[in-house]
Each structure stands twice: as C-alpha cells, then as structure tokens.
Structure 1
C-alpha cells in the first residue's frame, strides 16, 4: 500500500529542525477498520496514537485524507492549529475533529450528512515525535426506506398503481397479487440516477381488479439483501379509497384485524418471488439486482413471517 511519503518527509524534517528525535516505534492503531453508515446519517471514524504523558499540541500533527484517484484532504491539524484551506470541497462544512479527545490519544473524525461519494478508504496520519498512519474503510448504504404511491382509476374495475422509491444501488420491483401470482412482466419499471447518486425507481402496474383485492409492490435490493414493500388493498368503500401499507416498523395501534390475512399472504409471496426470480426475464433496462440462485425455494404457503415489521398508512386515490 502506498504511504503518504511527502507528509512523512515533512514530519521528519519538522522534528529534526526543532531538535526532536524521531520515534521510529511510534504506532497508530484503529479500533475499527470498517464502518458502515446509511446515506444522510453521521459517522465518527477513529484512530489512536500513544501520548505518553501530557499532550503537547505544538508537537502534534493530525491529517485525515481520502484515497480516491486523487487524494482528497479531509482534515488537517498542524501544531495545534486547524487548516481548512487545503480541505477538499466535498467535505466543506461537514467535518469536525473532536479535539477534546486528542489528550487521550484519540483522533475522532466526525462526518455529518454522509454522501454516497464519501464511501472509500481514509488515511488517518499522525505525527507526534514519530509518524504513522492507518487505513479505514467507510461503506455507505442507501436502503429503499420509503415507498410512495399514486393510484389512478382508468376505467371500470381498472387501476393504474404506481410505486416510487429511492436508494442505492438500483433495485428491482416485483408485483404480485394475493395469490402470489407474479405480475412483474405486466409492469413498467424505470430508473434514474439523481445528482445525489441515488437511484430513483418508478414502477407502474395497470391491471383490472375486483373490489377487495390485494397487491404487493416489492423493492428488492440484492446488495443489501433487503426487501422494502408496499401492500395495496382495494377496499370495498363508497368513496373508493385505496388503502396502502408500508412495511417498516410495527404500528400496533394501526393494525386492523381485517388485514391480518393480507399480511400473512404478503410474507409468503416474498418467499415465492425469490424462488421464482431466476426463471423470469428482468424488467429493467439498466443492470438491476437479481435474486441469487441460492435463495430459499420453498412454496410461499410454507413460509413464516417471523421478525417482519409492518406500518400501516392510508392514502386516498387520486
């Protein structure tokens, strides 16, 4: 692995010119070499170094840099003074070093509002009577947390159902009815990459349906091995409201007994969708995620819904 030689040379001559002996046994450590954080959240990277008594900030140099095609300076502390002039524009206003922890031999770098572009390898470089560094890997994930919907009645007993969500990487959208019948080939799914590098996925299913029918809109993110789903229930009501349920967290007070059967079938259908995926032609024109061949293949009627979570929302038809 390439060492930041220029900084090491600088630290050597800086200590030499100040009459200090370079400690060749100086070692930087990292309690964790891998961090995983969700897009938009905060993360604190850490490396440690020996202080050996009371810390003298005038002798301390701390540099964090991100190793891309070209190295990006994330943070610099030199002789106790912060230097933001050399900081890369990608990190402006989002970086803080917790200086109160330096006396404990901890270099804690806080990154706020994490972007997908923040993912990569970071060098934590410390100079304090010696010089050393550690490499820390930051991964950024963006699950398809929220699915929004739009419903349009296009004729007698005919509906246009649209599901939209954003995340990373691209997800496949699977449509099914209450009998676990795969309707994906009847849907139109497209994807765009926004300025934030997230995938904006839209899927529309136009279908004839009787009253009191249930449909499942399932976003499958293979890399994260995660399903995020929406249950759509065409209810028998005078105002023609379409009820939708977004599977995320338990909302016990909102769970109606009338939907219990739909929930059970929904969980069973997810299993069947995974089992049947390898036999279906992908819908998306982009390189979307496919189910791996080693996914479970038992029939949807035999699957369990243990540890699944549901949150119920009600959205009016437009």
Structure 2
C-alpha cells in the first residue's frame, strides 16, 4: 500500500509534460505564421553585368510570392537626383517622377507583378546606367539592392614594323590597339603555343566619352609557328577580345645594309630628278614657243609673263597710268597683245590638263598593278602551304625541296616587281604634284589677263566719255 501510494503521484507527470510541449508548439506555430505574413525582398548577391547596347533585367522579387500589382513599387539610384528610376503606383507608372536619363527606358511586367516579381527591365544599356539600384515597397517597408556593372568592348587592330634604330636585327615589332573599352582593360600577348610574351607597358588613354583606348607593343623573334595573339580582356565584366596574326618568314629576314639602302635612295632620287627635269624642259619649251608667237607692242617689246605679273602686283596702277597717257590705238594694240597671250595661256593650260589626266591614269594603272601583284603573292603563299601539306602526306623530300624552291623564286620575283612599281608610283605622284602646280599657275595667269583686259576696256570707255 505504501509503495502504491508512493507511485501514484508519479503517473500524472507525462500528461503535464505533453501539455507543456503542446503549448510551446502552438506558440511556435503562431509565431511562425505571424512572421511568415511579412514577405521578404530577394535579389542577387552578385553584380549584374551587361555590355553597352544590351537589354537587361535587374532581378528582384517577393518571397513568398504575392500579388504586387496594386502595391507601390519604387526603383531608385541613391547617387542620382531625382533618385527615382521607375515608380509604379496603383497599377500605373508615374513617368513624371523619374530621372530624365530613364524617361521611356524602364518597365515592370504586369503579369510578373501578380506573382511577386518586381524585376526592372532596362533596354539599350548605357555606360551611365552603371550603379547601385534599390527596389523598395513602402507598404511593407522592405527593400533590396542590385549592383549593376556596364562594360564596353571593341575590336582589335594589329600592325607590324621593324624595331627602331636596329637596322641589322631580324626581330619584328607587333603593335596592338583597341578603342572603346570600359572599364579599363588589360592587354596580353601570346605566342602560337599559348605562352605569355613579355611586352612593354600598356598605353592607356581615357576619352571624353569615358571610353578607354589601349595599345601595346611587343618585339618578337622568329618562332616555330610565327603566330601571335593579342588579347584584350576586362575581368570585371568578364569580356575578352583577341586577334591572331601570322608573320611570314620573310619579315624576320634582316633588312638591307646601310650601303644598299643608300644606293636605293640615290637611285630613286636620280629617277625623280630626271622626271622633274623633263617636266621643266617641256614647260620652258612651251614658254619659248608662246613668247615667239606674241605680237610686238608699240615700243617694239613683248608683253611677257613678267610684265603681266608686274601689272597685277601693282594692282593695275601701271596699266592705269599708261592708259591715261596713250591714245586709243595704243589701248587697242595692248588689248590685242593680251588676247593673243590669253589664247596661248589657254592652249598651254589644255596641254597641262592633258598631262595631269595622263599621269593620273598612269598612277591608277600602277596602283592596280601593285594590287594585282599583292594578290599573286598571296596566291603563291597559299600554294606553298598546300604543297607543304601534300609533301607531309605524299611527296618525298627531294620533290618538296624542288617545289619549295620554285615557289620562293616566283615569290621573290613578284616582290621585286612590286618594289619597282612602288618606286615608279612615287615618281609619278611627284610629277602629278608638279604639273598640278603648273596648272594652278596658268589658271592664276589667265585670271590676271582677264583682269587686265577688263581694265583696258574700262579705260576705253572713260576715254570715249571724255571725248563726248
């Protein structure tokens, strides 16, 4: 009995424990339900990256999802004034509250709003769109932040040249340039095997449009593949552009010695001097022929170019002084001589124009020939590569060497012809410039003669008026 009495008070303890657990569980569920009634704003923790011109969506949504179409939704940028990028209130966008740079450029999807998706659509991205955005719903006092990074990329250009002040070296300098990057990128050089090359410091210039222009130079020697790659990359936007260039073996050949270059320069100079001399002789011959055809004036002398320029330089004062002291017949004689001279100038001008047209046509022919030689050189390179590929598969070594030698001979002959054409082209261009200057001088002379004829006519009218 005593044992039972001692045990009976212990029986209600499990019931009390279960009741306590039940009350705690109910309280927890109520607390969970109460907290779950306040949705949270969710946005990506990593920046959103886009390139200028892209259409982008800045993500932001409610969790758990709920209809936000009738709520007030604000997208802002704290660094702007006004700060509003997009304002949605009672199912309508308030355009007049937006910053001017976002007018007509932002939108929310009504369909997605019904499911709690308040993501902002931003088309035609600009550099100025970069920044930190906040999505905010005032009625629930919740906001979230989205970092937006905007980049700009551009194509690359590679050029090659000889190292400065190193005439006998076989090295080649490669220069890579690219305009229109943002943010500031870095430039890397790689060889055909993908190994990094040691290059000089990258030159960077930031323009008024905030875009960067970068350029880099690297000096390379002949390698197995002679292929080199310029890579411009921007790690922040994860953007990369690269261009590969194959340098022909001939570019790695040491250039001509100083003595050879001197003889080439002297030869070109002599050729140019001969052309100039021929043009001058023809011009003087035309001058002499024209002077012999002129009629003498009343004093027995000729009105030549020198006298004409004297009249013009003195702005007609010499002619005016003469016409005031001579009779009408002297004016007629001078007018006749000037008209003869005008005819001679016009005739010479026609000859010069013909020479200019001939030289221009010749220049175009030379340029076409040089272009065709360039195409032939390219074809020779392609054929040689094809032969090398076939040799690896079919031909024996002797056949390969013979064919390769033939291609090298043809290639060198074409290169020699192209250099000769280039030299002639330079001389023709110089001749064109000289003859063009001559044509300009004749045009000026013609204008001056017409001016003198008009002055004489005025003097005659004044004389006739005095007599009456």
Q: State the match for 2:92 in structure 1.
A: 81
Change (3 A) 1:69 1:161: same
- SS, match of residue 95 in structure 2: coil
Q: State the match for 2:130 in structure 1.
A: 119
Q: Is the contact between residue 189 and residue 199 of structure 2 (CA under 8 Å) also seen in structure 1? A: yes
Q: State the match for 1:161 in structure 2.
A: 174
- SS, match of residue 151 in structure 1: strand
CA distance in 1, matches of 2:76, 2:230: 42
CA deviations 1:109-147 (Å, max 9, x no partner) are: 1011223433332221224xx332322222325375x54
Change (3 A) 1:204 1:56: closer
Q: State the match for 1:305 in structure 2.
A: none
The alpha-carbon deviation at position 234 of structure 1 amounts to 1.4
Count of aligned positions? 214
- SS, match of residue 96 in structure 1: coil
Mapped pair 1:217 → 2:226: no
CA distance in 1, matches of 2:239, 2:63: 42
Change (3 A) 1:92 1:201: farther
Query: If each structure's helix is expressed as a fraction of its own residues, which one has the higher value?
Result: 2
Q: State the match for 1:151 in structure 2.
A: 159
Q: State the match for 1:182 in structure 2.
A: 197
Counterpart pick for 1:172 among 186, 190, 201? 186
Q: Is the contact between residue 176 and residue 184 of structure 1 (CA under 8 Å) also seen in structure 2? A: no
The alpha-carbon deviation at position 37 of structure 1 amounts to 2.0
Structure-to-structure mapping, 1:302-317, within 5 angstroms: none
Mapped pair 1:136 → 2:149: no
- SS, match of residue 57 in structure 2: strand
Q: State the match for 1:96 in structure 2.
A: 107
Q: Is the contact between residue 159 and residue 174 of structure 2 (CA under 8 Å) also seen in structure 1? A: yes
The alpha-carbon deviation at position 158 of structure 1 amounts to 7.2
Q: State the match for 1:32 in structure 2.
A: 44
Q: State the match for 1:246 in structure 2.
A: none
- SS, match of residue 119 in structure 2: strand
- SS, match of residue 67 in structure 1: coil
Q: Is the contact between residue 37 and residue 141 of structure 1 (CA under 8 Å) also seen in structure 2? A: yes
CA distance in 2, matches of 1:56, 1:91: 21
Q: State the match for 1:193 in structure 2.
A: 206
Q: Is the contact between residue 80 and residue 99 of structure 2 (CA under 8 Å) also seen in structure 1? A: no
- SS, match of residue 100 in structure 1: helix
* Greater length-normalized contact order (CA 8 Å, ≥ 6 residues apart): 1
CA deviations 1:270-303 (Å, max 9, x no partner) are: xxxxxxxxxxxxxxxxxxxxxxxxxxxxxxxxxx
Change (3 A) 1:164 1:89: farther
Change (3 A) 1:39 1:100: same
- SS, match of residue 232 in structure 2: strand
Q: State the match for 2:286 in structure 1.
A: none
CA distance in 2, matches of 1:54, 1:112: 25
TM-score (norm 1): 0.52
Q: State the match for 1:105 in structure 2.
A: 116
Q: Is the contact between residue 173 and residue 217 of structure 2 (CA under 8 Å) also seen in structure 1? A: yes
Q: Is the contact between residue 62 and residue 78 of structure 1 (CA under 8 Å) also seen in structure 2? A: yes
Change (3 A) 1:79 1:234: same
Q: State the match for 1:42 in structure 2.
A: 55
CA distance in 2, matches of 1:195, 1:112: 24
Point out the more displaced range, 107-116 or 203-212: 203-212
Change (3 A) 1:69 1:110: closer
CA distance in 1, matches of 2:131, 2:117: 21
Unaligned segments of structure 1, at least 5 residues: 1-24, 242-256, 259-318
- SS, match of residue 176 in structure 2: strand
Root-mean-square deviation (CA), in Å?
Answer: 4.2
CA distance in 1, matches of 2:45, 2:223: 55
Q: Is the contact between residue 173 and residue 218 of structure 2 (CA under 8 Å) also seen in structure 1? A: yes
Q: Is the contact between residue 50 and residue 56 of structure 2 (CA under 8 Å) also seen in structure 1? A: no
CA distance in 2, matches of 1:27, 1:228: 43
CA distance in 2, matches of 1:50, 1:207: 58
Q: Larger radius of gyration, structure 1 or 2?
A: 2
TM-score (norm 2): 0.37
The alpha-carbon deviation at position 193 of structure 1 amounts to 2.4
Unaligned segments of structure 2, at least 5 residues: 1-36, 251-372, 379-387, 390-468
CA deviations 1:198-244 (Å, max 9, x no partner) are: 32212244667699733332335454677643321113698376xxx
